[in-house]
Structure 1
């Protein structure tokens, strides 16, 4: 009887697998929705639209972008987590939605690891430490010396409580043993405006948001979070060069599907997306927006998500960062 039961179980599994493969063979046969968990116009949205345009052509079906902003990205991510796992609702994974928010807010309505299947990391983007040109430091060495001489007197602006900018700033404080005041704003725009106006001293921002101000000499860059120096900022060292490897983590923009999406569909989406990311036109457009194409495997992006989630959980606990609901 046990042998018969085992045979039935194996047969059922084979049947399910065959059905999944057949489903993947016909996939996609209708429009795919790509949920961007932030408002239109930001780097996440730009990356998603660049890839979606070509991905739709590669798959033979339109890929439309649906912006679902709010909650630091948690609203849009929640939509994807609860969607039908048939490959027709995908989402953009970010350091914010899949690491920071869940670490800061234990009540978030999804698990970044268990409720999604990773497809690929589409692109990465550097972070940059900038100061107002009036700040009394011309380079990072002078900057760090000044910060250490003035504990608790200097401030860094962010787009809000539990934002990526705050996490980079908090990691910086841990690695350098410095005391800098966190000043959260309701968005990166107001934070940048006050940095430009001199109301706050520094900001750990995503490079695309700050680049125009750097080029116009309205902000002074002191360090970037990227594996190598940035071609457009050749004189600005990386945090790793400065002995701060833990701060040298760029942000990323991945592609995920709801948990239980058939593996055959995940592989099909991965192959198509990686092919798109190798297109010269796509690479050119991504780099023009301040992002670098990646295109890794589902397992590699899943590992990135898990690693960053654990790193943020450790940082939040160490720095006693409290989510205030804003």
Structure 2
């Protein structure tokens, strides 16, 4: 009797395992939700939508975008981490949510190592420092000289505490020895509006959102973080050219999943992402965003996250940033 019970138990375990394997083999068999931890319309949302559309064609299932903004991307990222690890909820991971927030926030509702599994890197985009045209500085050197003449008087705006733009601003202060005042906003949109209106003097931002205003002469670009000068801004030097090496990093965008998602599903999603990045339409839209496509296996994305977290932790410590 005991042997019979053991046989039944073994059969049940094998049956469950077989069903799980079959479900993974059939993946995906229904629509996938991709959580974007920022509001619609920003760089993360634009990149997510074009990539999701191309991945849908590969996976033959819709990928539904769900925007869950707030707390510098922490709310949406926590939702990704807490989702069922079945491959039907994935999300966008960025420099903010995977490197800066873990380095700067005193506490987070997720842990990047314990709760999330990298799927793949999509692309990286340059950051840019701009000023309102009324500011009498046409170069970073002139801006630094101006700021040192009036310490504590000049202001810079960011997309919020712990954002890419906040970290850049604090790194700039450390690198140049200037005393400029941080003005945090609830997103980059309001910060851009006030920069154009002259309510703040300086803005640090991802290039894609600031570029139209730079091209319309509503903001003046002083430096970019790309490895080389950009075709659209050939006269604007890179931070590396100016020997501001601490500022020469790029913002990145990738896809993550809940930590216990089976590796076979991670590999399937990664393959679909890699194929999506070969699409002409995706390439054109990423180019318009000044995003540099960087397809690669999940392990490469994991290594990038680890490197960037380490870099951001050093920068946050040097700038004495701590977000509650």
Q: Is the shorter-chain TM-score for this pair beyond 0.5, marking a shared fold?
A: yes
Paired position in structure 2 for 1:176: 176
- The answer to whether the 8 Å contact 2:106/2:323 transfers is no
Distance in 2 (alpha carbons) for counterparts of 1:19 and 1:176: 60
String of CA shifts for 1:156-208, please: whole Å, max 9, x gaps: 11122222111011112222222221111222222222211222211111112
TM-superposed CA distance for 1:223, in Å, is 0.2
Distance in 2 (alpha carbons) for counterparts of 1:113 and 1:281: 33
Q: Work out whether 1:264 is the aligned partner of 2:264.
A: yes
Q: Work out whether 1:236 is the aligned partner of 2:236.
A: yes
TM normalised by structure 1 equals 0.89
Distance in 2 (alpha carbons) for counterparts of 1:39 and 1:260: 27
String of CA shifts for 1:32-83, please: whole Å, max 9, x gaps: 1111111111111110000001101101111111111122111111111011
- The answer to whether the 8 Å contact 2:54/2:279 transfers is no
TM-superposed CA distance for 1:23, in Å, is 4.1
Distance in 1 (alpha carbons) for counterparts of 2:221 and 2:261: 43
Within-5 A mapping of 1:96-245: 96-245=96-245
Structure 1 residues 15 and 308: alpha-carbon distance in aligned structure 2, compared to 1, 3 A threshold? farther
Paired position in structure 1 for 2:3: none
Q: Work out whether 1:31 is the aligned partner of 2:38.
A: no
Root mean square deviation of aligned Cα: 2.1
String of CA shifts for 1:190-234, please: whole Å, max 9, x gaps: 222221122221111111211111111111100001122111111
Distance in 1 (alpha carbons) for counterparts of 2:113 and 2:17: 23
Q: Secondary structure at the match of 2:228?
A: coil
Give unpaired runs (5+ residues) of structure 2.
1-13
TM normalised by structure 2 equals 0.90
TM-superposed CA distance for 1:91, in Å, is 0.7
Q: Secondary structure at the match of 1:296?
A: coil
Within-5 A mapping of 1:80-91: 80-91=80-91
- The answer to whether the 8 Å contact 2:106/2:322 transfers is no
Q: Secondary structure at the match of 1:120?
A: strand
Q: Secondary structure at the match of 2:98?
A: helix
Between 180-189 and 90-99, report the one with greater CA deviation: 180-189
TM-superposed CA distance for 1:93, in Å, is 0.1
Between 15-24 and 290-299, report the one with greater CA deviation: 15-24
Distance in 2 (alpha carbons) for counterparts of 1:229 and 1:108: 36
String of CA shifts for 1:280-307, please: whole Å, max 9, x gaps: 1110012123323221221111112122
Paired position in structure 2 for 1:62: 62
Alignment length (residue pairs)? 312
Paired position in structure 2 for 1:11: none
Paired position in structure 2 for 1:93: 93
Distance in 2 (alpha carbons) for counterparts of 1:150 and 1:204: 20
Distance in 1 (alpha carbons) for counterparts of 2:100 and 2:16: 36
Paired position in structure 1 for 2:46: 46
